[in-house]
Structure 1
């Protein structure tokens, strides 16, 4: 195919998934994971010269609604991997809905996820499709873990803690950090409220690794996803202080591939601890490379949406749209180590 002209190609007979931002760091992982699963992929991006040559590709700029709609035509699902999502989510989800596609993204930005939920639930229901923002490592994984340990009663407290042995930020992460100046929110007394400044610092003992690490309060989109469908009085999120130092250091390099999948050597551990009248329960997930692992998470969601038995429509979180434990067990076969226990 002539990448310079990005000539539209015929859509495969099987339902296809369009990946917007397919040329980006996370987008490349998503395209590879969809192909591994045998799901037809259409790569979409703003720059036709940077789109992959080994899959069907289409070019569409964010400020060209008609081009976006044409790029998604004939597809069943659009996965948005292009940040900052404060800028990309609205035009991409609106074009996806006009094209009759379900929409997923991998935003860690609270304000973007919240705006997508609020603006696109009704249009998605009217179109008979689903909209699921924050379906990656940040937002999605914690929501699945929280959904898996939530009981019948309202949660008194929910805490998420993430440890990264290193955080090598991508250029996209740095651009998003510069763009996203919206105050972060937490849940207090059952309501989303601005996080106190400075955030709380504490130590956290991770059960799987046995490490106790200094943590900084740093909520991402999981606060929005979890609070959207789980009744919780108090919700807090923490990241280990060393990883926060990495991402704040302008001299920290970008991730470097160390294996055939293109993953970096980064290791992560995420814990979610839920407290209610029935007691305290913990769920954890461990794996390699927070950018790479977003691909199997969002691809698993896309595969479930493509299943003819899936009939839901509207805006949902991952834990709301799917059986959380079943979803996590599917990821645990090849991508994650997942554990559940009582504390």
Structure 2
């Protein structure tokens, strides 16, 4: 592969940015570590190099630091140097508009790691056609939530006649980062924008209800939440194969119960406020719940199973997809997507899930080889 720097991570100094950087380095792909603060970016490179050394790998972080404020004026000239932008700066609906617009203007493929359903739907509506016309990929949610469920769903949809999907993410010992906590809180507190698909129409979940789920690999019932609604209903909206799609997340009682309590407090104290004040309220709640960067996750601790049930007129089927170390895998799916884009392996341009953009079977085979997931039959 050419050693020209053609990939850029924006927001690279944070938890997820360092994970993406680590996986790009393992693939020997040079990239820009970009963001607003030089010192933080330089420190992040030091952390990534230390992680690579701890793993006994004879590679280092081939990164150039690029400082740019989150404005079109500063981002477009920077993005014109590369082919792929990986955006990890969130909450996305609050800060990411200039980044996706600048990538389009600079003729870059755009990947991000959002978990925000409303952001995913908003950029589909505003930018999807323009990216497709330019032959560029617009692919949000290159992350455990919600790319893993999309991969599982595509396997289930291989069964002819399936038109309804019921997906559950279950994870042990979840470690959301500070940015992810704020991102999801702004979603889960919103009582009118966590949607599932019913007969190809969006229907809002109640925001303060804990749902009990029975996953096939556990004896006990688990508490779950729509967790922002997920992006699978957005991916499959208007897909002729799918009529119904629901997604729940069982992220652990240590997180579900405090989140439900926080949502109830929001409903009582902030739901009536103007939008900017609501966002500030959920940001403050996020700071109170997660004000530090967690340790990197581990294949033997942060284990997950994504269960997808499929149903049609005359058929039912299911898939349980093991996927461990979800945050590390988030870094890897971003790096894998970037590598495939650089190699000309894009299958579908425009607004696409990673599963559609690169092929679900191809990705699952690759991630199985890397030790992250099971390999469906």
TM over 0.5: yes
What do residues 184-241 of structure 1 show as CA deviations (whole Å, max 9, x unaligned)? Answer: 011112212212455472331234xx44432324132232224353632222112225
Partner SS, residue 221 of structure 2: strand
Partner of 1:23: 13
Judged with a 3 Å threshold, the aligned counterparts in structure 2 of structure 1 residues 293 and 118 are, in CA distance, closer, same or farther, namely same
Change (3 A) 1:278 1:212: farther
What is the deviation of 1:19? 0.5
Is the contact between residue 135 and residue 350 of structure 2 (CA under 8 Å) also seen in structure 1? yes
Partner of 2:153: 146
Check the 8 A contact 1:146/1:226 in 2, yes or no.
no
Q: Is 1:119–2:131 an aligned residue pair?
A: no
Query: Counterpart in 2 of 1:32?
Result: 22
Partner Cα distance (2:158, 2:230) in 1:
23
User: Is 2:293 the partner of 1:283?
Assistant: no
1:48 correspondence with 2:38: yes
**Unaligned stretches of 5+ in structure 2?**
46-60, 263-287
Q: 2:241 aligns to what?
A: 231
CA–CA distance in 2 between the matches of 1:230 and 1:254?
43
Matched, 1:304 2:340: yes
1:68 aligns with 2:75: yes
Identify, as 1 or 2, the structure richer in helix.
2
Whole-Å separation in 2 of the counterparts to 1:117 and 1:335: 32
Displacement, 1:294? 0.6
| Greater alpha carbon shift after TM alignment, 76-85 vs 275-284 | 275-284
Match of 1:244 among 251, 256, 263: 256
Larger CA deviation: 118-127 vs 283-292:
283-292
Moved more, 125-134 or 226-235: 226-235
Work out whether residues 136 and 298 of structure 1, in 8 Å CA contact, stay in contact via their aligned partners in 2: yes
Contact kept, 8 Å, 1:59 with 1:71, in 2: the verdict is no
Paired with 1:258 and 1:65, the residues of 2 have a C-alpha distance of: 32
Measure, in 1, the Cα distance between the counterparts of 2:210 and 2:257: 16
CA contact (8 A) 2:166 2:310 kept: yes
Q: Which of 80, 103, 112 is the matching residue for 1:105?
A: 112
Deviation, structure 1 residue 315: 1.6
- Counterpart of 1:51 in 2: which secondary structure? helix
Unmatched 5+ stretches in structure 1: 1-11
Output the aligned Cα RMSD: 2.7
User: Does residue 163 in structure 1 map to residue 170 in structure 2?
Assistant: yes
Using the TM superposition, give the Cα deviation of residue 79 of structure 1 relative to its aligned residue in structure 2, in angstroms. Answer: 0.6
Q: Deviations over 1:222-278 (max 9, x none)?
A: 32224353632222112225142365685578564368xx88942222111211245
Q: Which has the higher strand share?
A: 1
